Structure 1
Amino acid sequence: MEDFLYFVRTFVAKNRQERWIYLSTKKWEKFADFNGMENDFNENCILYENNAEEIFFQTVQDKGINRGVYLEYWSGISIMSPIDWNQINKTSSCESLLICKDEGVAFFFHHEGWIWVCKK
């Protein structure tokens, strides 16, 4: 959960951080439904409604990202190394997060296909 706490402290608006930190202490089912989280992002996050896959790959390449912590409701928390778009795309029926703490980047994947890219 250290990576999730980093995500909250870095990319969630100050007045909403306590809520997400509190939820992270609860049962997975209550916490891992990230529905609505995008409403709490700060100015470091940018929404891409089109070309999400291309934006994702370009950011991964530009930042040299090869590892991240992936959080998704059905599969839980896992280390993704190397980054696996097919795994992310397979779980696109719900919101998910890929946190690449070392590079200061995170991706929020929405079930409708768009993506938020958060950069420190």
Structure 2
Amino acid sequence: MNHLNFFINNFIKKDKKQRYHFLINGKWPKFANNIKHIDKHLNHHCVKIDNNAFEKFTQIIKHYTIKSGYYYDAYTNGLEISTHCLNNIHDDSLLICPDNNIAFYFHHDNWIWFCQIKLEQHHK
């Protein structure tokens, strides 16, 4: 499974999904360069955490017992990383945790977008 497909299918606004699928399937440099604008296209399953963002991110990781995720930024394409090794997260990056139906977007203004599909929503 392509983890970016999971992210796009679940967390990008409907009218932008086709464009993002096009970019990840052949225009990777353009997609990577545009990660910094992805927050403009997140849907209602995503909420912005702007106060104590990294602390709240750590709490979410613990609460949902997230062990690892797939990391994407301008230079990294889907590297699986442990949640114990998150010191090198860069701005304008994604951490996608499909096993938990969760993803995070790390904004360059130190916000973190928390995206989640609740289980009852995911099975409809």
What fraction of aligned residue pairs are identical, expressed as a percent?
34
SS in 2 for 1:36: helix
Which residue matches 2:16? 16
Task: Please identify runs of 4+ aligned residues in structure 1 that moved more than 6 A.
Answer: none
The whole-number CA distance in structure 2 between the counterparts of 1:40 and 1:15 is 9
Please list every run of 5 or more consecutive structure 1 residues that lacks an aligned counterpart in the other structure: none
Give yes or no for contact 1:68–1:83 (8 Å, CA) kept in 2.
no
Deviation of residue 81 (structure 1)? 2.1
The whole-number CA distance in structure 2 between the counterparts of 1:83 and 1:7 is 22
CA displacement, residues 62-120 of structure 1 (integer Å, 9 cap, x when unaligned):
100011000011233311024422011xx23xx10000000010000011211100010
Letter in 2 for 1:112: D
Letter in 2 for 1:57: T
Correspondences of 1:1-120 after superposition (within 5 Å): 2-33=2-33, 34-88=35-89, 91-92=90-91, 95-120=92-117
The whole-number CA distance in structure 1 between the counterparts of 2:84 and 2:97 is 10
The whole-number CA distance in structure 2 between the counterparts of 1:26 and 1:49 is 33
Please give the TM-score of this superposition, normalised by the length of structure 1: 0.89
Please list every run of 5 or more consecutive structure 2 residues that lacks an aligned counterpart in the other structure: 118-124
Please give the TM-score of this superposition, normalised by the length of structure 2: 0.87
The whole-number CA distance in structure 2 between the counterparts of 1:37 and 1:82 is 22
The whole-number CA distance in structure 2 between the counterparts of 1:35 and 1:73 is 9
Task: From the superposition, tell whether residues 24 and 9 of structure 1 become closer, same or farther in structure 2 (CA, over 3 Å).
Answer: same
Give yes or no for contact 1:8–1:21 (8 Å, CA) kept in 2.
yes
Equivalenced residue count is: 116
Give yes or no for contact 2:61–2:83 (8 Å, CA) kept in 1.
no
The whole-number CA distance in structure 2 between the counterparts of 1:84 and 1:14 is 33
